[in-house]
Structure 1
Amino acid sequence: MSKRAMILFAHGARAASWAAPFERLRGMTQARLPDVDVSLAFLELMSPRLPERVDQLAAEGVVDIALVPVFLGQGGHVLRDLPVMVEELKAKYPQIRFTVATAVGEAPEVLNAMADYCAGALS
């Protein structure tokens, strides 16, 4: 069992099919990081929720968790909700090192890939 983990943090939706691209992203990321436990967690409407997933990882002895918000921008959920959740998790699990990436949609390489895709839509 890996002592390191990555949680791809998404909003969640009522339709189970909404999670399909996030599951594919999780699988692709796991393939690139075979020594890291890569999983999904959600803000609401789907399971597991972020605190639930961290509880599971803590019980498995994970000591390092990277949180990656798979949101297009640094909106209210990433700027307000996530920091509160992370502070609560840090207080509950002081033995775990938490790092939080910026929203995936804020990364220049992601925006460039999206622009390439959009420009290609004209062909």
Structure 2
Amino acid sequence: MKGILLFGHGARNPEWAQPFHRIRDAILAREPAALVEPGFLELMRPGFDEAVDCLVRQGATEITVVPIFMAAGSHIRKDLPQMAANAMDRHAGLLIALAAPVGEAEPVLAAMADYAINAAPEI
């Protein structure tokens, strides 16, 4: 069974996580049986490991980590692959795939360009 982990940096302000919950809700509205959880690098819960464990408890044997980051900095290039490897070591048979950060996806870039154009209607 496949799961999705929406991976974010985390922040001290709990309101910062609201977009992650809205993305999760949008996924579940389209795919009610989807296994999807947010997981954060630091400062917020659930942490990455907690989110992986939660998805595994729900039956996930394959997890795609979707970084909700604008670009691939050191957290995505170095920290995330190590965290995924550690999680696969903890859960025998678990496969974790890492998607590109959402900010590097062409449809997302196009949506942000549309938003920017619409935010400045005189252009």
Same fold (TM over 0.5): yes
Which structure 1 segments of 5+ residues have no match? none
Q: Which residue of 1 is the match for residue 71 of structure 2?
A: 73
Post-superposition offset of 1:9: 0.5
TM-score normalised according to structure 1 size = 0.91
Over aligned residues, Cα RMSD in angstroms?
1.3
**What letter is aligned with 1:120?**
N
1:5 matched to 2:8: no
1:20-39 paired onto structure 2 within 5 Å: 20-39=18-37
Paired AA for residue 10 in structure 2: G
The separation in 2 between residues aligned to 1:97 and 1:91, in whole angstroms, is: 10
Q: How many residues align?
A: 121
Q: Which amino acid is the alignment partner of residue 102 of structure 1?
A: A
1:75-102 Cα distance to aligned partner (Å, 9 max, x none): 1111111011011111122311211100
- Cα distance in 1 for residues equivalent to 2:103 and 2:40: 17
Partner Cα distance (1:113, 1:121) in 2:
12
Q: How far apart are residue 110 of structure 1 and its match?
A: 0.3
**Structure 2 residues without counterparts, runs of 5 or longer:** none
2:100 is matched with 102
- Is the contact made by 2:9 and 2:40 (CA closer than 8 Å) also made in structure 1? yes
Please give the TM-score of this superposition, normalised by the length of structure 2. Answer: 0.91
Matched residue type, 1:95: G
Q: How high is the sequence identity, in percent, across the aligned residues?
A: 41
Question: Which 4+ stretches in 1 moved above 4 angstroms?
Answer: none
1:114 and 1:60 map into 2 onto residues whose CA distance is: 34
Q: After the TM superposition, which residues 19-58 of structure 1 pair with which residues of structure 2 at under 5 Å, given as runs?
A: 19-58=17-56
